């Protein structure tokens, strides 16, 4: 029987089986019922490789003895199809994914405080019994931490215990993943297809996060828009950076001509520009079919640097940042060589080496800037200008958060993915002029309110040296670069030096507006 075309034939078989009291197969019953109840699911499955090869509903949804299951018309099934299920056929993909940062996205993200607390008590966080006895959502709901940046202000306003914090569920966990477990009454953490979901069988991840059910398409997983569901926005705008790059422009111009299903994926034959999966998962070959870099589901396997944190670090063989994450320079350099092979499928070695040399300098510039900002925050604490007990409720703390988590990431990610505007204007410039500039202005203002002279210095070994005001009110710089002509101009000698901070500009703007309103009255 053709399992992909249930229609009348399936109906006849099920009817005959019922009349003769002969149990029809689970597959026949699933398809016959769901063809009426959820026809789109069946139609998706009919289009899939699973449908082609007869991988039917019960193969994936049958509940094992060691996992959560529900009685469903006489069959014990699970709605949570974990990567362990997929590993029955896709063992290599499961093994490489399990070593990836994707698999640990929930542990490294929203569940990190809970995970650390459980391990500190000697408990196994991946045991569902641990979750039942210590519900993760209850634990993290009211934690004040930069992981949930709004928590600082909620605590300051007294709203922390009144808010549902459901943005953790429909925000963070939608991408990072939830903890799914049965608490005796209902399935907690469900529904969820976050990439780092913790499953009732103890496994990590959700294959459907990239290969959505029920087509489970390799094309979908290879398309950058799929990655862009989560890798977007202020704090990690990878899809926006990609779309603004030469790679993205070529993809949008030519993708309709690509052979999305080919394995391995041949450069210049099946596709003409790298997508996210090309650079992060390999599986590509030259035009003759010779594999350049083997396919992997460890999306960090081509990366030298971890650039999401406050400071750049080498990649680690342990993706669990909650416990035992140790930067590994040797592994990082091996990853870089794999990435270079991918780049050299289209670019010359000199081009590739030159780009990475410049990229390393961008990372160094960011680290120096971030260190200055972090040291400034520590000075603010040391001088009693802010209270570190709530790490994200005061102005300099929020500026530091934005420096590393928003603008600083855009600076680094823009450089890593050939996005010039994100590297410069939305990255470096916003980091330095906006966030660090405001942080410095706030510090200097607080010092002046105290009647003290601000004590900032660019010299790393003389952090307490006071700022020296310009001698005789002269302009320290020899000239000011004119932004239009790029020529150096000199200021008249009778121009007196006036320091205009961000706060000063705000006051001047308010005065100007008030004057305009009076004039129009």
Q: What residues contact residue 356 under an 8 Å CB cut-off, 6+ apart?
A: 336, 340
pLDDT in tens, 416-445: 999 999 999 999 999 999 999 999 999 999
Kindly indicate the confidence band of residue 457, based on its pLDDT and cuts at 50, 70 and 90. low
User: Is it the case that residue 515 has pLDDT exceeding 90?
Assistant: no
User: DSSP string of 145-186?
Assistant: STTSTHHHHHHHHT-TTT---THIIIIIHHHH--B-EE-SSS
Calpha distance 26→58 (Å, rounded): 7
| Confidence tier at 487 by pLDDT (50, 70, 90) | very low
Mean per-residue pLDDT, 359-386: 98
Sign of CA pseudo-dihedral 334, 335, 336, 338? positive
Between 17 and 371, name the one with better pLDDT.
371
Spatial CA neighbour of 409 closest among 148, 235, 233: 235
pLDDT, tens digit (0-9, with 9 covering 90-100), for 218-238: 999 999 999 999 999 999 999
Give pLDDT, residue 154. 96
Q: Is the pLDDT of residue 12 over 60?
A: no
Residue 182, pLDDT score: 96
What does the pLDDT read at residue 381? 98
As a whole number of angstroms, the distance between CA 140 and CA 461 comes to 40
17 has pLDDT over 70: no
Over range 70-86, report the average pLDDT: 94
Long-range contacts of 167-176 (CB under 8 A, 24+ apart): 168/110, 168/137, 168/140, 168/141, 169/137, 172/109, 172/110, 172/148, 173/106, 173/110, 174/230, 175/105, 175/229, 175/230, 176/105, 176/106, 176/108, 176/109, 176/110, 176/111
Q: Where are the domains of the chain?
A: 26-79, 91-188, 312-449
Query: What is the arithmetic mean of pLDDT over 370-382?
Result: 97
The whole-model pTM stands at 0.83
What pLDDT is attached to residue 511? Answer: 46
- The confidence score (pLDDT) of residue 24 equals 53
Question: Which value, to the nearest 10 degrees, does the dihedral of the CA atoms of residues 37, 226, 301, 203 take?
Answer: -20
Residue 510 has pLDDT above 90, yes or no: no
Position 44 pLDDT exceeds 70: yes
Q: For 97-108, what is each residue's pLDDT tens digit?
A: 999 999 999 999
DSSP 3-state of 270 = coil
- At 477, the pLDDT band (50, 70, 90 cuts) reads very low
Give me the phi and psi of 480, to 5 degrees please.
-115, 130
The 3-state DSSP class for residue 306 equals strand
- Residue pair 307/332 in contact (Cβ under 8 Å)? The answer is no
pLDDT digits (tens, 9 = 90+) for 176-222: 999 999 999 999 999 999 999 999 999 999 999 999 999 999 999 99
Q: What are the φ and ψ backbone dihedral angles of 39, each rounded to 5 degrees?
A: -60, -30
Which long-range contacts does 312-316 make (Cβ < 8 Å, 24+ apart)?
Answer: 312/363, 312/366, 312/367, 312/412
Report pLDDT for 454.
83
Q: Report which of 394, 406, 409, 403 is spatially closest to residue 374, judged by C-alpha positions.
A: 403
**pLDDT over 90 for what percent of the chain?**
78
Strands lying side by side in the sheet with 291-293: 265-266, 284-285, 291-293
For the stretch 63-74, pLDDT in tens is 988 789 999 989
Handedness of CA 257, 260, 263, 268 (dihedral sign): positive
Q: What percent of the chain has pLDDT over 70?
A: 83
| pLDDT over 70 at 144, yes or no | yes
What is the chain's mean pLDDT, rounded? 86
Question: Could you report the per-residue pLDDT of 230-284, keeping only the tens digit for each?
Answer: 999 999 999 999 999 999 999 999 999 999 999 999 999 999 999 999 999 999 9
Structure-model confidence comparison of residues 22 and 333, the more confident one: 333
Rounded-to-integer distance, Cα 60 and Cα 82, Å: 9
pLDDT, residue 495, reads: 34
Helices 349-382, 437-449: crossing angle, 10 deg rounding: 20
């Amino acid at each position: 029987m053709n399992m992909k075309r249930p229609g009348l034939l399936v109906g006849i078989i099920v009817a005959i089986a019922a009349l003769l009291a002969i149990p029809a197969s689970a597959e026949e019953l699933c398809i016959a019922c769901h063809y009426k109840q959820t026809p789109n699911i069946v139609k998706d499955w009919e289009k899939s490789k699973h449908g082609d090869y007869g991988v039917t509903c019960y193969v994936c949804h049958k509940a094992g003895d060691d996992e959560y299951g529900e009685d469903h018309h006489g069959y014990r099934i699970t709605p949570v199809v974990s990567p362990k299920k997929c590993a029955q056929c896709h063992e290599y993909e499961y093994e490489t994914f399990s070593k990836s940062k994707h698999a640990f996205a929930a542990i490294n993200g929203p569940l990190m405080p809970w995970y650390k607390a459980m391990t500190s008590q000697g408990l196994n966080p991946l045991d569902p019994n641990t979750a039942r006895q210590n519900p993760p959502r209850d634990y993290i709901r009211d934690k004040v931490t930069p992981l949930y940046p709004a928590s600082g202000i909620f605590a300051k306003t007294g709203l922390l215990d009144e808010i549902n914090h459901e943005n953790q569920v429909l925000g963070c966990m939608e991408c990072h993943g939830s903890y799914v477990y049965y608490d005796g009454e209902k399935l907690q953490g469900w529904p969820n297809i976050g990439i780092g979901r913790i499953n009732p069988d103890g496994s990590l991840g959700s294959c459907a996060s990239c290969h959505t059910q029920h087509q489970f398409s390799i094309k979908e997983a290879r398309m950058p828009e799929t990655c862009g569901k989560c890798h977007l926005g202020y704090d990690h705008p990878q899809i926006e950076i990609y779309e603004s790059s030469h790679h993205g422009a070529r993809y949008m111009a030519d993708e309709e001509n690509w052979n999305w299903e080919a394995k391995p994926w041949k450069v210049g034959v099946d596709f003409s520009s790298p997508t996210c999966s090309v650079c992060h998962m390999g599986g590509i070959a030259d035009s003759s079919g010779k594999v350049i870099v083997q396919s992997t589901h460890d999306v960090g396997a081509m990366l030298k640097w971890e650039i999401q944190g406050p400071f750049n670090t080498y990649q680690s063989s342990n993706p669990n940042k909650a416990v035992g994450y140790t930067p590994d320079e040797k592994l990082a350099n091996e990853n870089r060589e794999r990435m270079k092979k991918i780049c050299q499928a289209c670019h010359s070695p000199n081009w590739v080496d030159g780009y990475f040399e410049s990229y390393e300098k961008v990372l160094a510039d960011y680290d120096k800037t971030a260190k200055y900002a972090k040291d400034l925050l520590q000075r603010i604490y040391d001088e009693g200008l802010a209270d570190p007990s709530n790490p994200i409720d005061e102005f300099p703390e929020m500026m530091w958060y934005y420096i590393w988590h928003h603008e600083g990431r855009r600076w680094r990610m823009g450089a890593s993915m050939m996005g010039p505007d994100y590297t410069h204007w939305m990255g470096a410039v916003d980091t330095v002029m906006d966030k660090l500039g405001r942080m410095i202005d706030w510090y200097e203002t607080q010092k002046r309110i105290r009647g003290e002279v601000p004590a900032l210095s660019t010299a790393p070994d003389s952090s307490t040296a006071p700022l020296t005001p310009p001698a005789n009110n002269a302009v320290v710089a020899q000239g000011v670069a004119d932004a239009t002509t790029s020529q150096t101009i000199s200021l008249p000698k009778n121009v007196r030096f006036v320091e205009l901070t961000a706060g000063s500009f705000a006051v001047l703007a308010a005065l100007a507006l008030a004057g305009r309103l009076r004039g129009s009255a």
